[in-house]
Structure 1
Amino acid sequence: MSTSYKDVLYEVRDGVVRITINRPEVYNAFRLQTLEELIDAFQQAGEEKSANVIVFAGAGDKAFCTGGDQKEHLSEDGLYGPRGTVGMPIEEFQTALRDVRKVTIAKVQGFAIGGGNVFATLCDLTIASEKATFGQVGPKVGSVDPGWGTAYLSRIVGEKKAREIWFLCRRYKAQEAFDMGLVNKVVPHEQLDAEVDQWCKEINEMSPTALTIAKRSFNADSENIRGIGFLGIQTVKHYYQTEESREGVRAFNEKRKPDFKKYAG
Protein backbone atom coordinates (compact mmCIF):
# COMPACT_ATOMS: atom_id res chain seq x y z
CA MET A 1 0.00 0.00 0.00
CA SER A 2 1.36 3.39 -0.94
CA THR A 3 1.38 6.51 1.16
CA SER A 4 -1.65 7.75 -0.78
CA TYR A 5 -4.49 6.81 1.55
CA LYS A 6 -8.18 7.56 1.78
CA ASP A 7 -8.63 7.69 5.58
CA VAL A 8 -5.11 8.62 6.67
CA LEU A 9 -2.64 11.42 5.95
CA TYR A 10 1.07 10.51 5.93
CA GLU A 11 3.81 13.12 5.87
CA VAL A 12 7.53 13.21 6.65
CA ARG A 13 8.68 16.70 7.54
CA ASP A 14 11.57 18.12 9.59
CA GLY A 15 12.67 14.67 10.71
CA VAL A 16 9.19 13.74 11.95
CA VAL A 17 6.67 11.27 10.55
CA ARG A 18 3.15 12.65 10.92
CA ILE A 19 0.29 10.15 10.71
CA THR A 20 -3.19 11.64 10.90
CA ILE A 21 -6.60 9.99 10.89
CA ASN A 22 -8.44 12.03 8.26
CA ARG A 23 -12.13 11.46 9.02
CA PRO A 24 -13.08 14.71 10.79
CA GLU A 25 -16.70 14.43 9.62
CA VAL A 26 -17.13 11.47 12.05
CA TYR A 27 -14.79 12.80 14.75
CA ASN A 28 -12.01 10.60 13.33
CA ALA A 29 -13.81 7.39 14.25
CA PHE A 30 -12.07 4.46 12.59
CA ARG A 31 -13.40 1.77 10.29
CA LEU A 32 -11.78 -1.28 8.70
CA GLN A 33 -10.08 0.76 5.97
CA THR A 34 -8.74 3.24 8.52
CA LEU A 35 -7.02 0.51 10.50
CA GLU A 36 -5.58 -1.15 7.42
CA GLU A 37 -4.10 2.17 6.33
CA LEU A 38 -2.79 2.94 9.83
CA ILE A 39 -1.07 -0.44 10.02
CA ASP A 40 0.66 0.22 6.72
CA ALA A 41 1.54 3.79 7.70
CA PHE A 42 3.14 2.82 11.00
CA GLN A 43 5.09 0.01 9.35
CA GLN A 44 6.44 2.49 6.80
CA ALA A 45 7.20 5.02 9.52
CA GLY A 46 9.25 2.44 11.40
CA GLU A 47 11.62 2.28 8.43
CA GLU A 48 11.98 6.05 8.03
CA LYS A 49 15.64 6.63 8.83
CA SER A 50 15.39 10.43 8.90
CA ALA A 51 13.04 10.44 11.90
CA ASN A 52 13.19 9.50 15.57
CA VAL A 53 9.56 10.49 16.16
CA ILE A 54 6.06 9.71 14.92
CA VAL A 55 3.30 12.21 15.70
CA PHE A 56 -0.10 10.50 15.72
CA ALA A 57 -3.02 12.90 15.36
CA GLY A 58 -6.59 13.41 14.18
CA ALA A 59 -7.68 15.85 11.49
CA GLY A 60 -9.74 18.92 12.29
CA ASP A 61 -10.22 20.74 15.54
CA LYS A 62 -12.72 18.53 17.36
CA ALA A 63 -11.23 15.08 17.85
CA PHE A 64 -8.08 12.99 18.00
CA CYS A 65 -10.16 9.82 17.62
CA THR A 66 -13.50 8.67 19.02
CA GLY A 67 -13.07 4.93 18.57
CA GLY A 68 -14.79 2.58 16.17
CA ASP A 69 -17.36 3.96 13.76
CA GLN A 70 -20.63 2.64 15.22
CA LYS A 71 -22.45 2.97 11.89
CA GLU A 72 -19.90 0.57 10.42
CA HIS A 73 -20.43 -1.71 13.43
CA LEU A 74 -23.96 -2.40 12.20
CA SER A 75 -22.65 -4.01 9.01
CA GLU A 76 -21.51 -7.60 8.47
CA ASP A 77 -24.01 -9.10 10.94
CA GLY A 78 -23.00 -6.80 13.74
CA LEU A 79 -19.25 -6.87 13.07
CA TYR A 80 -17.16 -4.28 11.32
CA GLY A 81 -15.89 -6.35 8.42
CA PRO A 82 -13.89 -9.41 7.37
CA ARG A 83 -10.59 -8.76 9.17
CA GLY A 84 -9.26 -9.67 12.59
CA THR A 85 -10.90 -11.49 15.47
CA VAL A 86 -13.78 -9.01 15.85
CA GLY A 87 -14.21 -8.05 12.19
CA MET A 88 -11.31 -5.66 11.82
CA PRO A 89 -7.61 -5.82 12.75
CA ILE A 90 -7.68 -3.86 16.01
CA GLU A 91 -5.09 -6.16 17.62
CA GLU A 92 -2.83 -5.85 14.59
CA PHE A 93 -2.93 -2.06 14.70
CA GLN A 94 -2.39 -1.90 18.47
CA THR A 95 0.66 -4.12 17.94
CA ALA A 96 1.98 -1.86 15.15
CA LEU A 97 1.48 1.23 17.32
CA ARG A 98 3.14 -0.28 20.39
CA ASP A 99 6.02 -2.04 18.63
CA VAL A 100 7.15 0.62 16.13
CA ARG A 101 10.78 1.50 16.83
CA LYS A 102 10.24 5.25 16.82
CA VAL A 103 9.03 7.34 19.75
CA THR A 104 5.30 7.94 19.31
CA ILE A 105 3.56 11.14 20.41
CA ALA A 106 -0.22 11.40 20.51
CA LYS A 107 -1.22 14.99 19.69
CA VAL A 108 -4.68 15.37 21.23
CA GLN A 109 -6.54 18.54 20.32
CA GLY A 110 -10.08 17.39 21.16
CA PHE A 111 -11.90 14.15 21.96
CA ALA A 112 -9.85 11.01 22.69
CA ILE A 113 -12.72 8.69 23.47
CA GLY A 114 -13.17 4.91 23.42
CA GLY A 115 -10.66 3.30 21.08
CA GLY A 116 -9.13 6.74 20.58
CA ASN A 117 -8.37 6.90 24.29
CA VAL A 118 -6.69 3.49 24.00
CA PHE A 119 -4.58 4.71 21.06
CA ALA A 120 -3.42 7.76 23.03
CA THR A 121 -2.67 5.50 26.02
CA LEU A 122 -0.55 3.22 23.84
CA CYS A 123 1.57 6.05 22.47
CA ASP A 124 4.85 6.64 24.29
CA LEU A 125 3.94 10.26 25.03
CA THR A 126 0.74 12.30 24.95
CA ILE A 127 0.57 16.07 24.57
CA ALA A 128 -2.86 17.64 24.87
CA SER A 129 -4.60 20.91 24.23
CA GLU A 130 -6.44 22.33 27.22
CA LYS A 131 -9.57 21.68 25.13
CA ALA A 132 -8.90 17.92 24.95
CA THR A 133 -11.27 15.39 26.52
CA PHE A 134 -10.49 11.78 27.43
CA GLY A 135 -12.64 8.84 28.42
CA GLN A 136 -14.19 5.45 27.69
CA VAL A 137 -17.61 4.54 26.31
CA GLY A 138 -17.36 0.77 25.81
CA PRO A 139 -19.89 -0.43 28.41
CA LYS A 140 -22.30 2.26 27.17
CA VAL A 141 -22.29 0.91 23.61
CA GLY A 142 -21.83 -2.81 24.17
CA SER A 143 -18.06 -2.95 23.80
CA VAL A 144 -14.81 -3.23 25.79
CA ASP A 145 -11.05 -3.37 25.26
CA PRO A 146 -9.86 -6.33 27.36
CA GLY A 147 -6.11 -5.78 27.10
CA TRP A 148 -4.18 -2.58 26.46
CA GLY A 149 -7.23 -0.44 27.13
CA THR A 150 -7.80 -1.95 30.57
CA ALA A 151 -4.74 -3.75 32.01
CA TYR A 152 -2.21 -1.34 30.54
CA LEU A 153 -4.34 1.67 31.47
CA SER A 154 -4.19 0.56 35.11
CA ARG A 155 -0.37 0.58 34.88
CA ILE A 156 -0.52 4.24 33.94
CA VAL A 157 -3.31 5.70 36.08
CA GLY A 158 -3.58 3.09 38.84
CA GLU A 159 -6.04 0.27 39.37
CA LYS A 160 -8.77 2.29 41.11
CA LYS A 161 -8.77 5.09 38.54
CA ALA A 162 -8.74 2.67 35.60
CA ARG A 163 -11.78 0.87 37.00
CA GLU A 164 -13.53 4.21 37.46
CA ILE A 165 -12.80 5.16 33.85
CA TRP A 166 -14.34 1.93 32.54
CA PHE A 167 -17.16 1.38 35.02
CA LEU A 168 -18.55 4.94 34.93
CA CYS A 169 -17.61 6.01 31.37
CA ARG A 170 -17.16 9.62 32.44
CA ARG A 171 -15.26 12.21 30.44
CA TYR A 172 -12.12 13.87 31.77
CA LYS A 173 -10.71 17.23 30.81
CA ALA A 174 -7.07 17.53 29.81
CA GLN A 175 -5.93 18.76 33.22
CA GLU A 176 -7.66 15.83 34.93
CA ALA A 177 -5.97 13.45 32.50
CA PHE A 178 -2.63 15.09 33.29
CA ASP A 179 -3.22 14.78 37.03
CA MET A 180 -3.88 11.03 36.71
CA GLY A 181 -0.78 10.48 34.55
CA LEU A 182 -2.57 9.83 31.27
CA VAL A 183 -1.05 12.94 29.64
CA ASN A 184 2.53 14.27 29.71
CA LYS A 185 1.79 17.94 29.03
CA VAL A 186 -1.23 20.21 28.67
CA VAL A 187 -0.87 23.49 26.79
CA PRO A 188 -3.18 26.26 25.51
CA HIS A 189 -4.93 25.12 22.36
CA GLU A 190 -3.10 27.56 20.09
CA GLN A 191 0.28 26.36 21.41
CA LEU A 192 -0.28 22.63 20.81
CA ASP A 193 1.53 22.38 17.47
CA ALA A 194 4.50 24.39 18.70
CA GLU A 195 4.79 22.28 21.86
CA VAL A 196 4.68 19.03 19.90
CA ASP A 197 7.30 20.39 17.48
CA GLN A 198 9.59 21.28 20.39
CA TRP A 199 9.34 17.78 21.87
CA CYS A 200 10.05 16.30 18.43
CA LYS A 201 13.08 18.56 18.00
CA GLU A 202 14.56 17.44 21.32
CA ILE A 203 13.90 13.74 20.64
CA ASN A 204 15.44 14.03 17.17
CA GLU A 205 18.72 15.09 18.77
CA MET A 206 18.96 11.76 20.59
CA SER A 207 20.56 8.50 19.46
CA PRO A 208 17.93 6.51 17.55
CA THR A 209 19.42 3.20 18.70
CA ALA A 210 19.43 4.25 22.34
CA LEU A 211 15.81 5.39 22.04
CA THR A 212 14.80 2.06 20.50
CA ILE A 213 16.55 0.09 23.24
CA ALA A 214 14.89 2.22 25.91
CA LYS A 215 11.48 1.75 24.29
CA ARG A 216 11.92 -2.02 23.99
CA SER A 217 12.95 -2.12 27.64
CA PHE A 218 9.85 -0.23 28.75
CA ASN A 219 7.65 -2.48 26.61
CA ALA A 220 9.17 -5.69 27.95
CA ASP A 221 7.91 -4.97 31.44
CA SER A 222 4.25 -5.04 30.33
CA GLU A 223 4.52 -7.53 27.49
CA ASN A 224 2.28 -10.04 29.26
CA ILE A 225 -0.67 -7.70 28.56
CA ARG A 226 -0.44 -8.64 24.88
CA GLY A 227 -1.42 -12.19 25.81
CA ILE A 228 -4.22 -10.94 28.05
CA GLY A 229 -5.52 -8.84 25.18
CA PHE A 230 -5.44 -11.65 22.60
CA LEU A 231 -7.28 -13.94 25.02
CA GLY A 232 -9.81 -11.25 25.92
CA ILE A 233 -10.55 -10.29 22.30
CA GLN A 234 -11.71 -13.85 21.68
CA THR A 235 -14.34 -13.33 24.36
CA VAL A 236 -15.26 -9.95 22.90
CA LYS A 237 -15.84 -11.64 19.51
CA HIS A 238 -18.58 -13.78 21.03
CA TYR A 239 -19.94 -10.84 23.02
CA TYR A 240 -20.34 -8.76 19.84
CA GLN A 241 -22.61 -11.50 18.47
CA THR A 242 -25.06 -11.17 21.38
CA GLU A 243 -28.22 -9.07 21.44
CA GLU A 244 -26.88 -7.30 24.53
CA SER A 245 -23.93 -5.88 22.61
CA ARG A 246 -26.06 -5.10 19.55
CA GLU A 247 -28.49 -3.18 21.76
CA GLY A 248 -25.66 -0.82 22.69
CA VAL A 249 -24.81 -0.17 19.04
CA ARG A 250 -28.44 0.28 18.04
CA ALA A 251 -29.08 2.68 20.91
CA PHE A 252 -26.01 4.76 20.02
CA ASN A 253 -27.08 5.10 16.39
CA GLU A 254 -30.68 5.80 17.37
CA LYS A 255 -29.53 8.40 19.92
CA ARG A 256 -31.32 6.80 22.87
CA LYS A 257 -30.36 5.13 26.13
CA PRO A 258 -29.73 1.38 25.76
CA ASP A 259 -31.80 -1.14 27.69
CA PHE A 260 -29.20 -3.74 28.62
CA LYS A 261 -31.07 -5.22 31.59
CA LYS A 262 -33.55 -7.15 29.45
CA TYR A 263 -30.63 -9.24 28.16
CA ALA A 264 -29.09 -9.95 31.58
CA GLY A 265 -28.70 -13.67 32.21
Structure 2
Amino acid sequence: MEFKDIVYSVEDATATIRINRPDVYNAFRYQTVVELIEAFYEAGYDKSVGSIVLTGTGDKAFCTGGDQKNHDGQYQGGIRGTVGMPMEELHSALRDTPKPVIAKVRGYSIGGGNVLATLCDLTIAAESAIFGQVGPKMGSVDPGYGTALLARSVGEKKAREIWYLCRRYTAQEACDMGLVNKVVPDDQLDAEVRQWCDEINEKSPTAIALAKKSFNADTEMIRGIGGLAFQALKLYYDTEESKEGVTALNEKRKPDFRRHYK
Protein backbone atom coordinates (compact mmCIF):
# COMPACT_ATOMS: atom_id res chain seq x y z
CA MET A 1 0.00 0.00 0.00
CA GLU A 2 1.32 3.44 -0.90
CA PHE A 3 1.06 5.79 2.07
CA LYS A 4 0.03 9.43 1.62
CA ASP A 5 -1.05 10.57 5.09
CA ILE A 6 1.59 8.75 7.11
CA VAL A 7 5.29 8.01 6.85
CA TYR A 8 6.41 4.45 7.58
CA SER A 9 10.01 3.45 8.19
CA VAL A 10 12.03 0.72 9.88
CA GLU A 11 15.43 1.29 11.48
CA ASP A 12 17.36 -0.88 13.95
CA ALA A 13 14.41 -3.25 14.53
CA THR A 14 11.99 -0.40 15.28
CA ALA A 15 9.15 0.60 12.97
CA THR A 16 8.08 4.24 13.12
CA ILE A 17 4.58 5.23 12.05
CA ARG A 18 4.33 9.00 11.73
CA ILE A 19 1.09 10.84 11.02
CA ASN A 20 2.13 13.35 8.38
CA ARG A 21 -0.55 16.04 8.40
CA PRO A 22 1.12 18.89 10.31
CA ASP A 23 -1.01 21.55 8.62
CA VAL A 24 -4.02 20.24 10.60
CA TYR A 25 -2.07 19.33 13.75
CA ASN A 26 -1.87 15.73 12.57
CA ALA A 27 -5.63 15.28 12.73
CA PHE A 28 -6.77 12.16 10.93
CA ARG A 29 -9.22 11.71 8.09
CA TYR A 30 -10.58 8.47 6.60
CA GLN A 31 -7.47 7.80 4.52
CA THR A 32 -5.19 8.40 7.51
CA VAL A 33 -7.02 5.82 9.58
CA VAL A 34 -6.92 3.20 6.81
CA GLU A 35 -3.19 3.78 6.35
CA LEU A 36 -2.53 3.53 10.08
CA ILE A 37 -4.33 0.18 10.21
CA GLU A 38 -2.23 -1.16 7.34
CA ALA A 39 0.99 0.14 8.91
CA PHE A 40 0.29 -1.45 12.28
CA TYR A 41 -0.33 -4.83 10.70
CA GLU A 42 2.72 -4.49 8.46
CA ALA A 43 4.95 -3.71 11.44
CA GLY A 44 3.27 -6.23 13.69
CA TYR A 45 3.99 -9.20 11.45
CA ASP A 46 7.41 -8.11 10.19
CA LYS A 47 9.75 -10.47 12.05
CA SER A 48 12.60 -7.98 11.75
CA VAL A 49 10.61 -5.50 13.87
CA GLY A 50 10.72 -5.67 17.66
CA SER A 51 8.98 -2.41 18.60
CA ILE A 52 6.76 0.24 17.04
CA VAL A 53 6.73 4.00 17.57
CA LEU A 54 3.63 6.08 16.84
CA THR A 55 4.21 9.81 16.48
CA GLY A 56 3.31 12.91 14.48
CA THR A 57 5.16 15.24 12.16
CA GLY A 58 6.51 18.45 13.68
CA ASP A 59 6.57 19.74 17.24
CA LYS A 60 3.04 21.18 17.44
CA ALA A 61 1.04 17.97 17.74
CA PHE A 62 1.14 14.23 18.19
CA CYS A 63 -2.46 13.98 16.97
CA THR A 64 -5.57 16.06 17.57
CA GLY A 65 -8.19 13.49 16.61
CA GLY A 66 -10.58 13.62 13.70
CA ASP A 67 -10.17 16.37 11.12
CA GLN A 68 -13.19 18.60 11.62
CA LYS A 69 -13.10 19.60 7.96
CA ASN A 70 -14.29 16.06 7.31
CA HIS A 71 -16.97 16.12 9.99
CA ASP A 72 -20.59 17.01 9.47
CA GLY A 73 -22.60 15.33 12.17
CA GLN A 74 -20.51 12.24 11.50
CA TYR A 75 -17.11 11.65 9.96
CA GLN A 76 -17.15 11.52 6.20
CA GLY A 77 -14.95 9.09 4.36
CA GLY A 78 -15.18 5.70 2.74
CA ILE A 79 -17.15 2.54 3.15
CA ARG A 80 -15.50 1.22 6.34
CA GLY A 81 -16.36 2.17 9.88
CA THR A 82 -19.56 2.62 11.85
CA VAL A 83 -19.10 6.39 12.20
CA GLY A 84 -17.60 7.06 8.78
CA MET A 85 -14.05 6.05 9.74
CA PRO A 86 -12.87 2.56 10.73
CA MET A 87 -11.94 3.64 14.26
CA GLU A 88 -12.83 0.28 15.79
CA GLU A 89 -10.45 -1.39 13.31
CA LEU A 90 -7.66 1.05 14.16
CA HIS A 91 -8.03 0.54 17.89
CA SER A 92 -8.03 -3.23 17.40
CA ALA A 93 -4.99 -3.11 15.12
CA LEU A 94 -3.03 -1.14 17.71
CA ARG A 95 -3.88 -3.64 20.42
CA ASP A 96 -3.62 -6.76 18.28
CA THR A 97 -0.17 -6.10 16.85
CA PRO A 98 2.11 -8.42 18.88
CA LYS A 99 4.78 -5.72 19.25
CA PRO A 100 4.87 -3.03 21.95
CA VAL A 101 3.74 0.35 20.61
CA ILE A 102 5.29 3.49 22.09
CA ALA A 103 3.55 6.84 21.68
CA LYS A 104 6.19 9.55 21.17
CA VAL A 105 4.33 12.74 22.03
CA ARG A 106 5.29 16.30 21.21
CA GLY A 107 2.74 19.08 21.39
CA TYR A 108 -0.97 18.35 21.49
CA SER A 109 -2.39 14.90 22.18
CA ILE A 110 -6.07 15.79 22.10
CA GLY A 111 -9.39 14.03 21.47
CA GLY A 112 -9.00 10.97 19.27
CA GLY A 113 -5.25 11.53 19.41
CA ASN A 114 -5.34 11.19 23.17
CA VAL A 115 -7.27 7.94 22.73
CA LEU A 116 -4.45 6.63 20.52
CA ALA A 117 -1.87 7.59 23.15
CA THR A 118 -3.97 5.81 25.78
CA LEU A 119 -4.11 2.68 23.63
CA CYS A 120 -0.35 2.56 23.09
CA ASP A 121 1.51 0.18 25.38
CA LEU A 122 3.81 2.96 26.55
CA THR A 123 3.81 6.75 26.24
CA ILE A 124 6.87 8.99 26.42
CA ALA A 125 6.24 12.71 26.26
CA ALA A 126 8.22 15.88 25.72
CA GLU A 127 7.80 18.57 28.35
CA SER A 128 5.82 20.59 25.80
CA ALA A 129 3.15 17.90 25.38
CA ILE A 130 -0.47 18.68 26.23
CA PHE A 131 -3.10 16.01 26.82
CA GLY A 132 -6.89 16.12 27.00
CA GLN A 133 -10.30 15.29 25.61
CA VAL A 134 -12.73 17.51 23.70
CA GLY A 135 -15.59 15.16 22.80
CA PRO A 136 -18.43 16.60 24.91
CA LYS A 137 -17.37 20.11 23.81
CA MET A 138 -17.77 19.03 20.18
CA GLY A 139 -20.80 16.78 20.33
CA SER A 140 -18.81 13.55 20.44
CA VAL A 141 -17.36 10.91 22.77
CA ASP A 142 -15.32 7.72 22.55
CA PRO A 143 -17.57 5.13 24.21
CA GLY A 144 -15.04 2.29 24.02
CA TYR A 145 -11.33 2.19 24.79
CA GLY A 146 -11.14 5.98 25.06
CA THR A 147 -13.24 5.95 28.21
CA ALA A 148 -13.00 2.46 29.72
CA LEU A 149 -9.28 1.87 29.12
CA LEU A 150 -8.51 5.42 30.23
CA ALA A 151 -10.19 4.63 33.55
CA ARG A 152 -7.93 1.59 33.93
CA SER A 153 -4.91 3.80 33.25
CA VAL A 154 -5.59 6.84 35.41
CA GLY A 155 -8.36 5.70 37.74
CA GLU A 156 -12.08 6.16 37.29
CA LYS A 157 -12.41 9.48 39.12
CA LYS A 158 -9.67 11.08 37.03
CA ALA A 159 -10.99 9.59 33.79
CA ARG A 160 -14.43 11.05 34.48
CA GLU A 161 -12.84 14.44 35.18
CA ILE A 162 -10.96 14.29 31.87
CA TRP A 163 -14.11 13.56 29.87
CA TYR A 164 -16.68 15.61 31.78
CA LEU A 165 -14.63 18.82 32.05
CA CYS A 166 -12.52 18.57 28.85
CA ARG A 167 -9.55 20.28 30.49
CA ARG A 168 -5.99 20.14 29.23
CA TYR A 169 -3.12 18.64 31.17
CA THR A 170 0.61 19.17 31.01
CA ALA A 171 2.96 16.30 30.29
CA GLN A 172 3.97 16.15 33.94
CA GLU A 173 0.35 16.12 35.10
CA ALA A 174 -0.35 13.30 32.63
CA CYS A 175 2.66 11.40 33.99
CA ASP A 176 1.56 11.90 37.59
CA MET A 177 -1.89 10.46 36.81
CA GLY A 178 -0.47 7.42 34.98
CA LEU A 179 -1.28 8.37 31.39
CA VAL A 180 2.42 8.85 30.54
CA ASN A 181 5.40 6.69 31.47
CA LYS A 182 8.10 9.36 31.33
CA VAL A 183 8.55 13.04 30.56
CA VAL A 184 11.80 14.40 29.11
CA PRO A 185 13.00 17.73 27.71
CA ASP A 186 11.91 18.19 24.12
CA ASP A 187 15.42 17.87 22.72
CA GLN A 188 15.88 14.52 24.48
CA LEU A 189 12.64 12.86 23.35
CA ASP A 190 14.00 11.08 20.28
CA ALA A 191 16.97 9.67 22.18
CA GLU A 192 14.81 8.54 25.10
CA VAL A 193 12.36 6.71 22.85
CA ARG A 194 15.27 5.14 20.97
CA GLN A 195 16.68 3.86 24.27
CA TRP A 196 13.38 2.29 25.29
CA CYS A 197 13.02 0.65 21.87
CA ASP A 198 16.58 -0.72 22.01
CA GLU A 199 15.89 -2.28 25.40
CA ILE A 200 12.65 -3.87 24.14
CA ASN A 201 14.31 -5.13 20.97
CA GLU A 202 16.85 -7.08 23.04
CA LYS A 203 14.10 -9.14 24.67
CA SER A 204 12.46 -12.36 23.49
CA PRO A 205 9.84 -11.42 20.83
CA THR A 206 7.63 -14.35 21.79
CA ALA A 207 7.75 -13.52 25.48
CA ILE A 208 6.91 -9.89 24.73
CA ALA A 209 4.00 -10.92 22.48
CA LEU A 210 2.66 -13.26 25.15
CA ALA A 211 2.94 -10.52 27.76
CA LYS A 212 1.04 -8.06 25.54
CA LYS A 213 -1.71 -10.58 24.82
CA SER A 214 -1.96 -11.31 28.55
CA PHE A 215 -2.29 -7.64 29.44
CA ASN A 216 -4.93 -7.20 26.73
CA ALA A 217 -6.96 -10.16 28.00
CA ASP A 218 -7.86 -8.24 31.15
CA THR A 219 -9.61 -5.50 29.15
CA GLU A 220 -10.73 -7.44 26.09
CA MET A 221 -14.40 -7.00 26.97
CA ILE A 222 -14.01 -3.31 26.07
CA ARG A 223 -13.81 -4.33 22.40
CA GLY A 224 -17.33 -5.73 22.50
CA ILE A 225 -18.70 -2.87 24.56
CA GLY A 226 -17.09 -0.38 22.19
CA GLY A 227 -18.50 -2.10 19.11
CA LEU A 228 -22.00 -1.86 20.54
CA ALA A 229 -21.48 1.72 21.70
CA PHE A 230 -20.18 2.89 18.30
CA GLN A 231 -23.52 1.85 16.83
CA ALA A 232 -25.22 4.16 19.31
CA LEU A 233 -22.65 6.86 18.58
CA LYS A 234 -23.60 6.81 14.90
CA LEU A 235 -27.21 7.52 15.85
CA TYR A 236 -26.05 10.36 18.10
CA TYR A 237 -23.97 11.91 15.30
CA ASP A 238 -27.17 12.18 13.24
CA THR A 239 -28.80 14.44 15.84
CA GLU A 240 -28.87 18.24 15.89
CA GLU A 241 -27.40 18.13 19.38
CA SER A 242 -24.21 16.46 18.12
CA LYS A 243 -24.02 18.63 15.01
CA GLU A 244 -24.17 21.74 17.19
CA GLY A 245 -20.53 21.24 18.21
CA VAL A 246 -19.08 21.54 14.71
CA THR A 247 -21.62 24.19 13.70
CA ALA A 248 -20.58 26.36 16.63
CA LEU A 249 -16.91 25.83 15.82
CA ASN A 250 -17.43 26.91 12.22
CA GLU A 251 -19.46 29.93 13.36
CA LYS A 252 -16.83 30.78 16.00
CA ARG A 253 -19.25 30.79 18.90
CA LYS A 254 -19.88 28.85 22.06
CA PRO A 255 -22.07 25.78 21.43
CA ASP A 256 -25.55 25.61 22.93
CA PHE A 257 -26.21 21.89 23.15
CA ARG A 258 -29.15 22.14 25.51
CA ARG A 259 -31.40 23.87 22.98
CA HIS A 260 -31.25 20.66 20.93
CA TYR A 261 -31.56 18.31 23.90
CA LYS A 262 -34.93 16.58 23.64
Q: For this structure pair, what is the TM-score category when the shorter chain's length is used for normalisation?
A: over 0.9
In the superposition, relative to structure 1, how do residues 250 and 220 fare at CA in structure 2: closer, same or farther (>3 Å)? same
Kindly provide the amino acid, as one letter, of the partner of residue 65 in structure 1: C
1:88 to 80, 85, 105: 85
C-alpha displacement at 1:257, in angstroms? 1.0
Question: Is residue 91–residue 230 contact of structure 1 (8 Å, CA) maintained in 2?
Answer: yes
226, 229, 236: which is aligned to 1:229? 226
Partners of 1:83 and 1:216 lie apart in 2 by: 26
Residue 162 of structure 2 is matched in structure 1 by 165
User: Normalised by the size of structure 2, how large is the TM-score?
Assistant: 0.98
Aligned to 2:47: 49
Equivalent-residue separation in structure 2 for 1:205 and 1:155 (angstroms): 28
Counterparts of 1:79 and 1:133, CA distance in 2? 24
CA distance in 1, matches of 2:51, 2:174: 23
Q: What TM-score, normalized by structure 1, do the two folds share?
A: 0.97
2: distance between equivalents of 1:46 and 1:255? 42
| Structure 2: gaps of 5 or more residues | none
- TM-superposed CA distance for 1:148, in Å, is 0.2
Secondary structure of the residue that 2:102 maps to in structure 1?
Answer: strand
* Deviation for aligned residue 1:83: 2.2
Match of 1:79 in 2: 75
AA aligned to 1:174 is A
**What are the within-5 Å matches in structure 2 for residues 4-43 of structure 1?**
4-43=2-41
Q: Cα–Cα, structure 1 residues 79 and 202, in superposed 2: closer, same or farther, change >3 Å?
A: closer
Q: Give me the whole-angstrom Cα distance separating, in 1, the residues matched to 2:74 and 2:235.
A: 11
Secondary structure, counterpart of 1:106 in structure 2? strand
- C-alpha deviations, 1:110-145, integer Å up to 9, x for none? 100000000000000000000000000000000000
| Alignment correspondent of 1:205 | 202
Q: 2:254 aligns to what SS in structure 1?
A: coil
Q: Aligned-pair RMSD on alpha carbons?
A: 0.9
Q: Is the 8 A contact 2:108 2:131 kept in 1?
A: yes
Once the two structures are TM-superposed, the CA of residue 253 in structure 1 deviates from its matched residue by 2.7
1:50-129 to 2 correspondences below 5 Å: 50-74=48-72, 78-81=74-77, 82-129=79-126
1:216 aligns with 213
Whether the 8 Å contact between 2:104 and 2:124 is mirrored in structure 1 is yes
| 1:193-243 Cα deviation digits (max 9, x unpaired) | 000000001001000000000000000011011111111101100000001
Q: How many angstroms does 1:180 deviate by?
A: 0.2
Percent identity for Structure 1 against Structure 2: 69
| AA matched with 1:27 | Y
Aligned mate of 1:152, from 131, 141, 149: 149
Question: Is 1:71–1:253's contact at 8 Å kept on the other side of the alignment?
Answer: no
Question: Residue 78 of structure 1: CA displacement?
Answer: 4.1
Contact in 2 for aligned 1:70/1:253 (Cα 8 Å):
no
1:52: Cα distance to partner? 1.0
Q: How many residue pairs align between the two structures? A: 261
Query: Conserved in 1, the CA contact under 8 Å of 2:106 and 2:126?
Result: yes
Closer, same or farther in 2 for the Cα pair 1:203/1:241, shift >3 Å? same
- Equivalent residue, structure 1, for 2:131: 134
Determine helix, strand or coil for the equivalent of 1:17.
strand
In 2, Cα distance between the equivalents of 1:253 and 1:32?
20
2:234 aligned with 1:243, yes or no?
no
Mapped partners of 2:9, 2:75: distance in 1:
31
